[in-house]
Protein backbone atom coordinates (compact mmCIF):
# COMPACT_ATOMS: atom_id res chain seq x y z
CA UNK A 1 0.00 0.00 0.00
CA UNK A 2 2.78 2.42 0.82
CA UNK A 3 4.28 2.35 -2.69
CA UNK A 4 0.89 3.14 -4.20
CA UNK A 5 0.21 5.84 -1.62
CA UNK A 6 3.64 7.34 -2.27
CA UNK A 7 2.88 7.58 -6.00
CA UNK A 8 -0.39 9.35 -5.21
CA UNK A 9 1.19 11.74 -2.72
CA UNK A 10 3.96 12.61 -5.18
CA UNK A 11 1.90 12.90 -8.39
CA UNK A 12 -1.50 13.83 -6.97
CA UNK A 13 -4.90 12.28 -7.54
CA UNK A 14 -5.50 11.00 -11.07
CA UNK A 15 -8.28 12.96 -12.74
CA UNK A 16 -8.40 11.22 -16.12
CA UNK A 17 -6.99 8.33 -18.08
CA UNK A 18 -3.49 9.76 -17.98
CA UNK A 19 -2.57 9.12 -14.36
CA UNK A 20 1.10 8.26 -14.03
CA UNK A 21 0.32 7.55 -10.38
CA UNK A 22 -1.94 4.69 -11.46
CA UNK A 23 1.17 2.92 -12.75
CA UNK A 24 2.55 3.04 -9.22
CA UNK A 25 -0.46 1.06 -8.05
CA UNK A 26 -3.25 -0.92 -9.65
CA UNK A 27 -2.43 -0.24 -13.31
CA UNK A 28 1.21 -1.22 -12.90
CA UNK A 29 0.05 -4.39 -11.19
CA UNK A 30 -2.45 -5.02 -13.97
CA UNK A 31 0.52 -5.21 -16.34
CA UNK A 32 1.83 -8.15 -14.32
CA UNK A 33 -1.54 -9.88 -14.71
CA UNK A 34 -1.26 -9.45 -18.46
CA UNK A 35 2.07 -11.24 -18.35
CA UNK A 36 0.69 -13.99 -16.08
CA UNK A 37 -2.25 -14.42 -18.46
CA UNK A 38 0.12 -14.80 -21.41
CA UNK A 39 2.31 -17.30 -19.59
CA UNK A 40 -0.69 -19.44 -18.59
CA UNK A 41 -3.09 -18.91 -21.47
CA UNK A 42 -2.86 -22.55 -22.60
CA UNK A 43 -4.66 -23.53 -19.38
CA UNK A 44 -7.69 -21.46 -20.40
CA UNK A 45 -9.99 -21.23 -23.42
CA UNK A 46 -9.09 -17.63 -24.24
CA UNK A 47 -6.93 -14.70 -23.18
CA UNK A 48 -9.97 -13.16 -21.47
CA UNK A 49 -10.50 -16.30 -19.35
CA UNK A 50 -6.82 -16.31 -18.47
CA UNK A 51 -6.65 -12.62 -17.52
CA UNK A 52 -9.85 -12.95 -15.49
CA UNK A 53 -8.25 -15.78 -13.52
CA UNK A 54 -5.22 -13.63 -12.66
CA UNK A 55 -6.45 -10.05 -12.12
CA UNK A 56 -6.65 -9.58 -8.37
CA UNK A 57 -6.87 -13.31 -7.77
CA UNK A 58 -3.52 -15.03 -8.13
CA UNK A 59 -0.12 -14.63 -9.68
CA UNK A 60 1.80 -11.39 -9.36
CA UNK A 61 -1.35 -9.25 -8.83
CA UNK A 62 -3.16 -11.20 -6.16
CA UNK A 63 -5.99 -10.21 -3.88
CA UNK A 64 -3.79 -8.70 -1.16
CA UNK A 65 -1.92 -6.55 -3.69
CA UNK A 66 -5.19 -5.39 -5.23
CA UNK A 67 -6.69 -4.42 -1.87
CA UNK A 68 -3.48 -2.58 -0.95
CA UNK A 69 -3.79 -0.52 -4.14
CA UNK A 70 -7.45 0.25 -3.44
CA UNK A 71 -6.63 1.17 0.15
CA UNK A 72 -3.87 3.54 -0.99
CA UNK A 73 -6.26 5.52 -3.17
CA UNK A 74 -8.93 5.56 -0.47
CA UNK A 75 -6.48 6.72 2.22
CA UNK A 76 -5.10 9.35 -0.16
CA UNK A 77 -8.62 10.67 -0.81
CA UNK A 78 -9.27 10.85 2.93
CA UNK A 79 -5.99 12.70 3.51
CA UNK A 80 -7.13 15.36 1.08
CA UNK A 81 -10.69 15.63 2.38
CA UNK A 82 -9.72 15.62 6.07
CA UNK A 83 -6.45 17.53 6.05
CA UNK A 84 -6.80 18.46 9.73
CA UNK A 85 -6.04 14.85 10.78
CA UNK A 86 -2.66 13.12 10.88
CA UNK A 87 -1.92 10.40 8.36
CA UNK A 88 -1.53 7.86 11.16
CA UNK A 89 -5.00 8.74 12.53
CA UNK A 90 -6.52 8.50 9.04
CA UNK A 91 -4.93 5.09 8.44
CA UNK A 92 -5.99 3.78 11.87
CA UNK A 93 -9.57 4.98 11.33
CA UNK A 94 -9.65 3.56 7.80
CA UNK A 95 -8.60 0.08 8.88
CA UNK A 96 -11.01 -0.01 11.84
CA UNK A 97 -14.13 -1.79 10.67
CA UNK A 98 -13.87 -1.24 6.91
CA UNK A 99 -14.96 -4.51 5.36
CA UNK A 100 -13.92 -5.50 1.85
CA UNK A 101 -17.04 -4.30 0.00
CA UNK A 102 -16.76 -0.83 1.59
CA UNK A 103 -13.15 -0.60 0.42
CA UNK A 104 -14.06 -1.60 -3.15
CA UNK A 105 -17.03 0.80 -3.22
CA UNK A 106 -14.88 3.64 -1.87
CA UNK A 107 -12.26 2.97 -4.53
CA UNK A 108 -14.86 3.01 -7.31
CA UNK A 109 -16.24 6.27 -5.94
CA UNK A 110 -12.89 7.97 -5.25
CA UNK A 111 -11.17 7.08 -8.52
CA UNK A 112 -13.99 6.63 -11.04
CA UNK A 113 -16.93 8.62 -9.59
CA UNK A 114 -18.93 5.39 -9.06
CA UNK A 115 -18.92 4.74 -12.81
CA UNK A 116 -17.96 1.24 -13.94
CA UNK A 117 -17.90 2.35 -17.59
CA UNK A 118 -15.32 5.02 -16.69
CA UNK A 119 -13.31 2.38 -14.85
CA UNK A 120 -13.25 0.10 -17.88
CA UNK A 121 -12.64 2.88 -20.42
CA UNK A 122 -9.91 4.58 -18.37
CA UNK A 123 -8.22 1.25 -17.72
CA UNK A 124 -8.16 0.46 -21.43
CA UNK A 125 -6.87 3.96 -22.25
CA UNK A 126 -4.16 3.69 -19.60
CA UNK A 127 -3.04 0.31 -20.95
CA UNK A 128 -2.88 1.78 -24.47
CA UNK A 129 -0.85 4.87 -23.55
CA UNK A 130 -2.97 7.44 -21.77
CA UNK A 131 -4.48 10.68 -22.96
CA UNK A 132 -4.82 14.33 -22.02
CA UNK A 133 -2.20 16.80 -20.87
CA UNK A 134 -0.07 14.10 -19.24
CA UNK A 135 -0.30 11.82 -22.26
CA UNK A 136 3.29 12.16 -23.50
CA UNK A 137 4.78 11.76 -20.02
CA UNK A 138 2.45 8.86 -19.31
CA UNK A 139 3.46 7.05 -22.51
CA UNK A 140 7.11 7.33 -21.48
CA UNK A 141 6.29 6.02 -18.00
CA UNK A 142 4.19 3.18 -19.44
CA UNK A 143 7.07 2.07 -21.69
CA UNK A 144 9.40 2.03 -18.67
CA UNK A 145 6.89 0.02 -16.64
CA UNK A 146 6.43 -2.45 -19.49
CA UNK A 147 10.19 -3.06 -19.58
CA UNK A 148 10.19 -3.61 -15.83
CA UNK A 149 6.92 -5.54 -15.42
CA UNK A 150 6.63 -7.45 -18.70
CA UNK A 151 9.86 -9.41 -18.86
CA UNK A 152 8.70 -12.32 -21.02
CA UNK A 153 5.86 -10.65 -22.97
CA UNK A 154 6.89 -7.02 -23.48
CA UNK A 155 3.79 -6.09 -25.46
CA UNK A 156 0.12 -6.90 -25.76
CA UNK A 157 -2.54 -6.40 -28.39
CA UNK A 158 -5.39 -3.92 -28.42
CA UNK A 159 -7.78 -6.81 -27.88
CA UNK A 160 -5.78 -8.01 -24.86
CA UNK A 161 -5.85 -4.49 -23.36
CA UNK A 162 -9.64 -4.50 -23.77
CA UNK A 163 -9.85 -7.93 -22.13
CA UNK A 164 -7.70 -6.76 -19.21
CA UNK A 165 -9.89 -3.67 -18.72
CA UNK A 166 -13.02 -5.82 -18.87
CA UNK A 167 -11.59 -8.30 -16.35
CA UNK A 168 -10.60 -5.48 -13.97
CA UNK A 169 -14.10 -4.02 -14.21
CA UNK A 170 -15.67 -7.42 -13.53
CA UNK A 171 -13.50 -7.90 -10.44
CA UNK A 172 -14.35 -4.49 -8.98
CA UNK A 173 -18.04 -4.90 -9.83
CA UNK A 174 -18.24 -8.32 -8.14
CA UNK A 175 -16.62 -7.03 -4.97
CA UNK A 176 -18.23 -3.60 -4.64
- 86 vs 116, residue with greater confidence: 116
Domain that holds residue 39: 2-175
Average pLDDT over residues 40-63: 95
Rounded to the nearest integer, the mean pLDDT of the chain is 86
Average pLDDT over residues 87-115: 89
Residue 6 has pLDDT above 90, yes or no: no
Domain count, the chain: 1
Q: How far is CA 54 from CA 30, 41, 62, 92, 160, in A?
A: 9, 10, 7, 30, 13
The pLDDT, as a whole number, for residue 104 is: 95
Alpha helices in 59-115 (DSSP H): 63-81, 87-95, 100-112
Beta-carbon contacts of residue 107 (< 8 Å; ≥ 6 apart): 70, 73, 74, 172
Amino acid sequence: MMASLNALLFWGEPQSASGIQDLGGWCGDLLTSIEDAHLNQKKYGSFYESITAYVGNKGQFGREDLVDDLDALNVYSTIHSQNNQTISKIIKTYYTGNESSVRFNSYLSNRFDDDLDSLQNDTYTLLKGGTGSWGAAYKTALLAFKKFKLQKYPSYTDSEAKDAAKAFRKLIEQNA
